[in-house]
Amino acid sequence: MADILVVEDEPDLRDLIVEEVENMGHSTAIASDGAEALRYLPPHHPQLILSDTNMPNMNGCAFRQEIVENFSHLQNVPFIFVSAYAEQNDIADAMEVGADHFVTEPIDFDALGDLVQTLIDGQRQTDDWNQV
């Protein structure tokens, strides 16, 4: 089980993602935009972040950039963008700020579940190596 931060401004989609992630056996925390997610982070350390790209107040790319610049202990936390915007420039922007993956809507939750598990397992191996 992992702690996953879900950052999505659309309540229905956020609820669906949370339900699916929790059905995978993970716990979730939620934020409605990047600014709210940044307020959540200082005392918390999620093991994976799922974030929309297009949100009010602070979009997903700006949120990811803030993590890279101001939360060095979270830079290596797996980061997945989930978005209906799937133009090449959207994906390129996401990868440029350090996203691990870009998942397009409609979401294939079986594929997302496999991806989440792969990234979490990889993060655990990295954490184990860093402790040696």
3-state secondary structure the chain: CCEEEEECCCHHHHHHHHHHHHHCCCEEEEECCHHHHHHHCCCCCCCEEEECCCCCCCCHHHHHHHHHHHCHHHCCCCEEEEECCCCHHHHHHHHHCCCCEEEECCCCHHHHHHHHHHHHHHHHHHHHHHHC
pLDDT of the chain along its 132 residues, tens only? 899 999 999 999 999 999 999 999 999 999 999 999 999 998 999 999 999 999 999 999 999 999 999 998 898 999 999 998 878 888 899 999 999 999 999 999 999 999 999 999 987 555 544 444
Model pTM score: 0.91
Integer Cα distance of 69 and 82 in angstroms: 22
